[in-house]
Structure formats: structure tokens, C-alpha cells
Amino acid sequence: MEFKPKDFPALKNDNLLRAARGEAVDRIPVWVMRQAGRYLPEFQEVRAKHDFFTVCRTPELACEVTMQPLRRFDLDASIIFSDILVIPQALGLVVEMQKGVGPVFPEPLNGPEELNRLNPEGAVDRLKYVGDAITMMRHLLDGKVPLIGFTGAPWTLMGYMIEGGGSKTMSKAKSWLADHLDKSKFLLSLLTNVTVDYLEMQVKAGAQMLQVFESSAEHLSKKQFVEIAMPYLKDIRVKLHEKLNKQGIEIVPMVIFAKGAMHSLAEMSDLGYDVIGLDWSIDPEDARKQVGPNVTIQGNLDPQDMYKSQEELKELTSKMVKKFGKHRYIANLGHGITPLTPIESMTTFVNTVHTALDD
């Protein structure tokens, strides 16, 4: 069956979007980063049969795993199954997902002289499969909950492309910043432009909210984050809004999640994003003070708390929700759910968010 990005079923639960826009909600919306993932046996089953990026590139498979957590838990959002590293792939770099290792680039960018290996021409066309999965998912969701699209932020993508995978120190990527700042900025702005086109494509395909993952912000000093990474985060928001406005396309809420950058919440609240994602390192009340009243905050239970007893988890979740309150708040973990998380912890987390303010 072919799915077209039109005549989408009406949204039945729009609490996520209302929270993002600062409107009143019926209940606190909750979703979980990496909610489609290895802690679910049905996800493992799909992965046993198909390579990671085959799942990303095959809309039927991507939709199946996107749907899996929604069948089990009373979530208020879905997030399309994909990965932030599809952009480096579309630019021409090979990325493999290796069992027990994570993403690996057999041939990373070894120096600024290799920037000409990147081919931004037509990159977004090569990511059309993500749009196809989004459109198919909007129809399959039947309006149950909104669908979130996402991307990696420029600095985080640059880090993976230079390190060739995850890195404890990001020392190669940071040495680009120190020794080749102009070339680094060239790369960051190339990634920004592709990202803007990519997010535009996702919105046209049916994404109803967008999250930008700056997961490697933790490797930068505050000064580097503010002076080097943040201007591109702003550019993404400004340029995307401009593009959508020009075409008369409705703007969707945007979330910035910069892991390890809780030192710059006040600065981030000026970027014009509707929602700021919090990592688990910061106290809710502290975060609210720093971002002010006009931004929605999302987070931020420590993923490790999902391994505690169900009673403790309930207690911690309930305390967190009470601190955040119902206004301008989206509940989530403070980073992705980890593979050995007991499934019942997801049920406890989600249901506790929904009932925490009842008494």
C-alpha cells in the first residue's frame, strides 16, 4: 500500500503538542528517549532478522518497531525509528552498527583535507526513506498520539564523523576545534544546511514535533558550547522556520536536548526552541529557574533509576513530577532507556507520571 502525506487521521491525544506550546493539558504527556529499543524482546526479534540500518531504511520495519512500545505502554508520543547517523551516511560516509560496539565508521574523516569526501548534493533525497516511514507511521498511528521526528545536531554529528564512532574524550574532534577552527565551522555549517533540509522534509512527510539531539555537548566547555555549538542550533531553528513560513507550512514545536550542557540552560532558552530537554544531572526546580516561564521543559529521570525496585521508582518519578508541575512540562528520562531495563519499569514510570498529581 502506498501512503501519501495527506489526509492524516485526526489527532486524539494532543497533550504533547499542547505542553510544547505552553497550553493546558489533560494529563502530563510522557514519552521515553529510545522507547523503541533493545529492552523489548519484540525489538530484539526484529533485529535478529534484520541489520540495524535495514530496519531504518525499510518503512514497514521502521514503523513496526516504532509501534512496539505503544502497544505495551500508555505513552503520549511516538518517535520515528531511525538514527542520528543517517546524515553522515547520506553525505557519503559508511556507518556500520556493530554488535556490542555501537556505530563504527570504517573510514572516518581523518583530517580537514578529507572534507571533499562529503557530498551534500542530493543528501536529503537519499534520506527519503525516513520521510516515507514518517508518512506511513502517521497513517498507522490513526491519530493515537503525535509522531516526533529527530536529527543529530551539527557538533554531535561532526564528533562521530571524525572519531569514527563513539568516543570517551572526543579528542580528535576537539583537536579540529583547536587547530582547524575555520574548517570545523565549514563542516558544522554544511551539517546545519543538510539538517535544515532534512527537518523540512520530515515536517512535510508528517512529523508533528522535532527533537534535535546534541548528545555530545558534554565534551565541550561552556565557552565552546555557547560559542561554537549553539550558533548552529539557533541557525537550524531560524532557517527551518523561514523555509516553512515561505511555503505556508505550519511550524511544529522543536525540542533541543543538549546532554551535558545544563550549564547553559539560560542561553539555550534564547534559541527560540519550544522545549528544552534536560539530562538527569539537574534538579527540576533549578532548571525551571534558569529557563524561565516561557519554555517547556522535558525530562529528566536518571535512566539508572529504572533498575530500582518498583516502589522506589514510583517514589522517585512521583517526586520528580511534583517538582516539575503540570504546566509546560513533558515527562521523559534524562537520557535514552538502557538495554537491560525491566519492562515493568516502563509501565511504572509511564503510569506514575499520569497519576502523580492526582492526590
Task: Note whether 3 binds ligand CP3 by CB under 6 A.
Answer: no
Q: Residue 359 class from Cβ within 10 Å (0-12 exposed, 13-18 middle, 19+ buried)?
A: exposed
Task: Note whether 92 binds ligand CP3 by CB under 6 A.
Answer: no
Task: Note whether 53 binds ligand CP3 by CB under 6 A.
Answer: no
C-alpha cell read off for 180:
582547524
Task: Note whether 36 binds ligand CP3 by CB under 6 A.
Answer: yes
C-alpha cell read off for 230:
549553539
Contacts of residue 288, defined as CB under 8 A and 6 or more positions apart, other chains included, come to: 297, 324
Does residue 288 carry a catalytic annotation? no
Does residue 237 carry a catalytic annotation? no
**Segment contacting ligand CP3 by CB under 6 A, of 30-38, 104-112, 174-182, 341-349:** 30-38
Q: Residue 326 class from Cβ within 10 Å (0-12 exposed, 13-18 middle, 19+ buried)?
A: middle
Nearest to 190, CA basis, from 82, 89, 91: 91
| Smallest separation (angstroms) from ligand CP3 to the CB of 70 | 11
Paired strand residues for 255: 211, 275
77 vs 148: CA distance, rounded Å: 7
| Smallest separation (angstroms) from ligand CP3 to the CB of 156 | 6
Q: Which position among 17, 25, 28, 34 is part of the footprint of ligand CP3 (CB under 6 A)?
A: 34
Task: Note whether 336 binds ligand CP3 by CB under 6 A.
Answer: yes
| Total residues binding ligand CP3 (CB under 6 A) | 22
Site string for ligand CP3, 137-166 (x = CB under 6 A): -------------x---------------x
Task: Note whether 103 binds ligand CP3 by CB under 6 A.
Answer: yes
Q: Which position among 89, 195, 215, 348 is part of the footprint of ligand CP3 (CB under 6 A)?
A: 215
The one catalytic residue among 160, 198, 232, 329 = 160
The one catalytic residue among 39, 47, 279, 305 = 47
Instruction: Please give the C-alpha separations between residue 59 and each of 43, 128, 149, 232, in angstroms, as whole numbers.
Output: 15, 10, 14, 30
Does residue 117 carry a catalytic annotation? no
85 vs 101: CA distance, rounded Å: 15
C-alpha cell read off for 245:
513560513
The one catalytic residue among 14, 76, 83, 235 = 83
- Residues recorded for the chain: 359
Contacts of residue 92, defined as CB under 8 A and 6 or more positions apart, other chains included, come to: 117, 118, 119
| Smallest separation (angstroms) from ligand CP3 to the CB of 81 | 5
Paired strand residues for 221: none
**Segment contacting ligand CP3 by CB under 6 A, of 14-22, 80-88, 201-209, 222-230:** 80-88
Residues classed as catalytic: 34, 38, 47, 83, 160
- Residues of this chain that interact with ligand CP3 (CB under 6 A) are 33-38, 47, 52, 79, 81, 83-85, 97, 102-103, 150, 166, 213, 215, 259, 336
